[in-house]
């Protein structure tokens, strides 16, 4: 913020590239614009349809705010409440909802066409662990040099992975070639 003084007045300027501040959220107190509103009291009682001025007077009498709860209703529904507390409760609910969301990651497990049995078992343990955690698994089979001539071996290996994972995960993208690697994506089975 740049403050410039001209004789006796102080003018605060907005930076040129900043968008004008828009007030999002419910309208409060004198910002309620409707000609008439349906009012709900602080204890939840219905006061019927009133003018916003009368409702605001009632809210100020109780030392609370007039908050527009449902602006799209006809007439709009307003409630007498403590707006600061209302905003705090809303933020708390949003943060709780954010905590409960599970972000699904795509984990990658790399195989080779000639992966040995013990290595295969270790990699499959990792795949099952990822699926149990609710993540998707990208099974990548990388071909080197002349192995490209034996793509059927790679397809058989990925089909074996798919059959071993039945019940734990389902194949979302069947094996397909991308350059020198064959890729299959497996997602967890919804419980």
pLDDT digit string, tens, across residues 176-190: 888 889 999 998 887
DSSP bridge partners of 171:
186
Element (H, E) at 75: none
Domain 25-98: give its CATH superfamily.
Translation initiation factor 3 (IF-3), N-terminal domain (3.10.20.80)
Integer CA distances (angstroms), 35 to 54, 75, 88, 173, in order: 11, 9, 29, 57
Tens of pLDDT, residue by residue over 84-120, are 888 888 889 888 888 877 777 888 999 888 888 899 9
Specify the CATH number for 106-188; select among 3.30.110.10, 1.10.3720.10, 3.10.20.30, 3.40.718.10. 3.30.110.10
Angle, alpha carbons 44-49-52 (nearest 5°): 90
Q: 111 by DSSP, 3-state: which?
A: strand
Q: Mean pLDDT, the chain, as a whole number?
A: 83
Q: Which residues lie closer than 8 Å to 121 by C-beta, 6 or more apart?
A: none
Tens of pLDDT, residue by residue over 27-43, are 787 777 888 888 888 88
Ranges of each domain in the chain? 25-98, 106-188
- Percent of the chain exceeding pLDDT 70 equals 87
Range 67-73 average pLDDT: 84
pLDDT at 17 over 80: no
Give residue 140's pLDDT band: very low, low, confident or very high (50, 70, 90): very high
Backbone angles phi, psi at 104, to 5 degrees: -80, 120
The more confidently predicted of residues 142 and 7 is 142
Q: Can you list the alpha helix ranges (DSSP code H) found in the chain?
A: 52-62, 83-100, 117-132, 151-164
């Amino acid at each position: 913020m740049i403050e410039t003084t001209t004789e006796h007045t102080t003018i605060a300027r907005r930076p040129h590239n900043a968008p004008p501040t828009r007030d999002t959220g419910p309208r409060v107190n004198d910002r309620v614009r409707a000609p008439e509103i349906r009012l709900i009291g602080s204890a939840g009682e219905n006061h019927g349809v009133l003018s916003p001025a009368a409702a605001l007077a009632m809210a100020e009498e109780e030392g609370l705010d007039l908050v527009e709860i449902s602006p799209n209703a006809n007439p709009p529904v307003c409630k007498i409440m403590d707006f600061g507390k209302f905003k705090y409760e809303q933020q708390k609910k949003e943060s709780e909802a954010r905590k409960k969301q599970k972000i699904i990651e795509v984990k990658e497990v790399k195989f080779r066409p000639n992966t040995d049995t013990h290595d295969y078992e270790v990699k499959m343990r990792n795949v099952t662990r990822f699926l149990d955690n609710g993540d998707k698994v990208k099974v990548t089979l990388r071909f080197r040099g002349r192995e490209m001539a034996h793509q059927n071996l790679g397809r058989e290996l990925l089909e074996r992975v798919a059959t071993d994972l039945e019940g734990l995960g389902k194949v979302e993208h069947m094996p397909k070639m991308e350059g020198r690697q064959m890729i299959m994506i497996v997602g967890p089975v919804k419980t």
